[in-house]
Structure 1
């Protein structure tokens, strides 16, 4: 199987100096997807941006994985509300002109 866009979880763990159990906990909460290939756990590279955010929240704010789940749910709601607001503002502009 190809591992072109996958990063070995041990590599990510050593790079960010985070224990593997942290990643497993995030996976159990549904925050990241871990793929097992050739008996080794991998992360897809498109998850790295959010993973870096999670690690920063964990290290800098000392938030546990359950708290990170709450924070990310709130961030998703904020992004959704911002999109709704932008759509409403665009519709309003049509009537103003």
Structure 2
């Protein structure tokens, strides 16, 4: 897998001014997925938006890991409900044609 699609945890922590242990906790709680290669640990670029959200919630609002897990779960439920509403809306409009 190409390293161009991921960044090392060390670089990421330096950029965001966060502790490596914070990212390890996020990984342990299933909030992000870190990958390991040789002696380095990486995060995929596609997860950076979620990481930024967790950084803001944790450091700015002082939400703990359990709270972050709950927020992730609720956001997923909202997304699923929005998708269901769109699907039902599309079905009702195609049925009226």
Instruction: Give the distance between the partners of 1:2 and 1:79, measured in 2 at CA.
Output: 30
TM-score, structure 2 as length reference: 0.89
Does 2:34 align with 1:42? no
Between the aligned partners of 2:2 and 2:79, the Cα distance in structure 1 is 34
RMSD: 1.6
- What per-residue deviation string (whole Å, max 9, x for no partner) do you get for residues 36-72 of structure 1? 1121111111111111111111122111122111101
CA–CA separation in structure 2 for the residues paired with 1:16 and 1:50: 13
Unpaired runs of 5+ residues, structure 1, are none
Gaps of 5+ in 2: none
Q: Deviations over 1:4-39 (max 9, x none)?
A: 222010111111111111111110111111111121
Further displaced range: 85-94 or 27-36: 85-94
How many residue pairs are counted as aligned between the two chains?
A: 97
Q: Which residue of 1 aligns with 2:61?
A: 61
Structure 1 residues 15 and 92, CA, compared in 2 at 3 Å: closer, same or farther? same
Distance 1:94 1:34 in 2: 43
Aligned counterpart, 2:82: 82
Q: Cα 1:2–1:83, aligned 2, differ >3 Å: closer, same or farther?
A: closer
Runs of 4+ in 1 over 4 A off after TM superposition: none
